């Protein structure tokens, strides 16, 4: 088994929400990403998945807890180590319209990380490397001097990916990289990400609200609800035998592209609870049809139950 590349230990992040209140965006998350593997994070909006992704590559400081890169905590690194670590951790953003500077050409956009890290010597070598990267992500080289607005969403996302892989990172955090794209283009980007992973031995932390996308790309999946992981495990096991009630409702709610299988299943009622005043005990209990007094009083911890780990009192009893 390959080694652990990036690890979160009991991460929490609170954002001030005025009047001495706080949004508990991430509340005690621990997870590991091994080399060459894809960990998918799935959850609804406001569950803290994007905040978690940003903490994991050091864009946001956690309120408590540690992130460890190859076994060493961010907090313990000196300036040089921290700098070297940044190079290994890159990010691809959701909105390919907002994440590229509209006043820079494709050449300058992709050359920017190469120049920052002084990877190529001289302008010509840089341009040569930019062309190689464009080829790797499937953007024709003749578009070298075009601006972002001259490209479609899918091609812009390819440019964003070229920027991320330019400096040969170990891990890329992909935050909803296909959410802004049409389905046929979404598949092209997913294929590209997989191909790059094989060629360059990349690890991904893949964040998405789209369950079928996460299922396709991930080796392991963590389901988040209100800042906490409620279930995690190997992808196929988690999707075939979901144990946590929230995971089950989430999978059930995905509209299936099959008119013969129209969902009649019970729907999850209500809306996600507030992250400012989360419920006591289990965060899901206010929407959970199986909640008991115990769920309000005692917070469930992630425990191994069958093939996955779940944080639910009910699942411990049933196994």
Contact between 268 and other proteins (CB under 8 A)?
A: yes
Closest separation between CB of residue 244 and other proteins, Å?
14
Contact between 30 and other proteins (CB under 8 A)?
A: no
Closest separation between CB of residue 274 and other proteins, Å?
10
> In a 10 Å sphere around its CB, with 0-12 CB exposed, 13-18 middle and 19+ buried, how is residue 92 labelled?
buried
Secondary structure of residue 251 in the 3-state scheme? helix
Smallest CA-to-CA distance from 227 within 51, 33, 56, 62 is with: 51
Q: Which residue among 142, 258, 293, 317 contacts other proteins (CB under 8 A)? A: 258
Contact between 80 and other proteins (CB under 8 A)?
A: no
Which residues in the 128-167 window bind other proteins by CB under 8 A? Answer: 152-155
Nearer to other proteins, 92 or 166 (CB): 92
Q: Which residue among 190, 205, 295, 312 contacts other proteins (CB under 8 A)? A: 190
Beta strand spans in 88-199 (E): 89-92, 171-175
In this structure, what are the phi and psi dihedrals at residue 8, rounded to the nearest 5 degrees?
A: -105, 130
Question: Which range of residues in 15-23, 27-35, 78-86, 268-276 is near other proteins by CB under 8 A?
Answer: 268-276
Which residues in the 34-63 window bind other proteins by CB under 8 A? Answer: 44-45
How far is Cα 81 from Cα 170, in angstroms, rounded to an integer? 15
Contact between 269 and other proteins (CB under 8 A)?
A: yes
Contact between 289 and other proteins (CB under 8 A)?
A: no
Which residues in the 197-226 window bind other proteins by CB under 8 A? Answer: 209, 211-213, 215-216
The b/e string for 171-198 (b: 16+ C-beta within 10 A; e otherwise) is bbbbbbbbebbeeebbebbbebbeebbe
Question: Which range of residues in 19-27, 51-59, 135-143, 177-185 is near other proteins by CB under 8 A?
Answer: 177-185
Which residues in the 221-250 window bind other proteins by CB under 8 A? Answer: 249-250
How far is Cα 230 from Cα 252, in angstroms, rounded to an integer? 16
Q: Which residue among 72, 135, 267, 298 contacts other proteins (CB under 8 A)? A: 267
- 264 Cβ neighbours under 8 A, 6+ residues apart: none
Smallest CA-to-CA distance from 242 within 256, 258, 221 is with: 221
How far is Cα 281 from Cα 108, in angstroms, rounded to an integer? 51
Which residues lie near other proteins (CB under 8 A)?
44-45, 152-155, 182-188, 190-191, 194, 209, 211-213, 215-216, 249-250, 252-260, 262-263, 267-269, 271-272
């Amino acid at each position: 088994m390959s080694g652990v590349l990036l690890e979160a230990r009991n991460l929490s992040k609170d954002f001030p929400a005025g009047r001495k209140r706080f949004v508990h965006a991430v509340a005690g998350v621990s997870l590991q990403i091994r080399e060459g593997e894809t960990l998918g994070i799935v959850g609804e909006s406001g569950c803290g998945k994007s905040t978690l992704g940003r903490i994991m590559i050091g864009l946001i400081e956690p309120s408590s807890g540690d992130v460890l890169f190859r076994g060493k905590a961010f907090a313990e690194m000196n300036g040089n180590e921290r700098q070297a670590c940044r190079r290994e951790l890159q990010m691809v953003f959701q909105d390919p319209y907002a994440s590229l500077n509209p006043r820079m050409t494709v050449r300058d956009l992709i050359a920017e990380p190469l120049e920052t890290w002084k990877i190529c010597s001289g302008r010509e070598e840089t341009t040569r490397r930019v062309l190689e990267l464009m080829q790797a992500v499937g953007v024709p080289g003749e578009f070298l001097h075009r601006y972002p607005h001259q490209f479609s969403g899918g091609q812009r996302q390819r440019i964003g990916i070229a920027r991320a892989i330019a400096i040969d990172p170990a891990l890329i955090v992909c935050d909803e990289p296909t959410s802004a794209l049409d389905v046929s283009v979404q598949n092209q980007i997913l294929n590209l990400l997989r191909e790059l992973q094989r060629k360059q031995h990349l690890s991904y932390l893949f964040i998405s609200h789209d369950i079928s996308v996460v299922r396709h790309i991930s080796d392991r999946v963590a389901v988040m609800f209100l800042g906490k992981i409620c279930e995690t495990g190997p992808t196929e096991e988690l999707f075939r035998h979901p144990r946590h009630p929230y995971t089950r409702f989430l999978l059930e709610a995905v509209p299936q592209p099959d008119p013969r299988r129209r969902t009649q299943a019970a729907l999850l009622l209500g809306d996600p609870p507030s992250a400012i005043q989360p419920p006591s005990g289990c965060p899901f209990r206010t929407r959970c049809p199986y909640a008991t007094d115990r769920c309000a009083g005692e917070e469930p911890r992630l425990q191994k139950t069958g093939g996955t780990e779940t944080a639910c009192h009910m699942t411990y009893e049933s196994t």
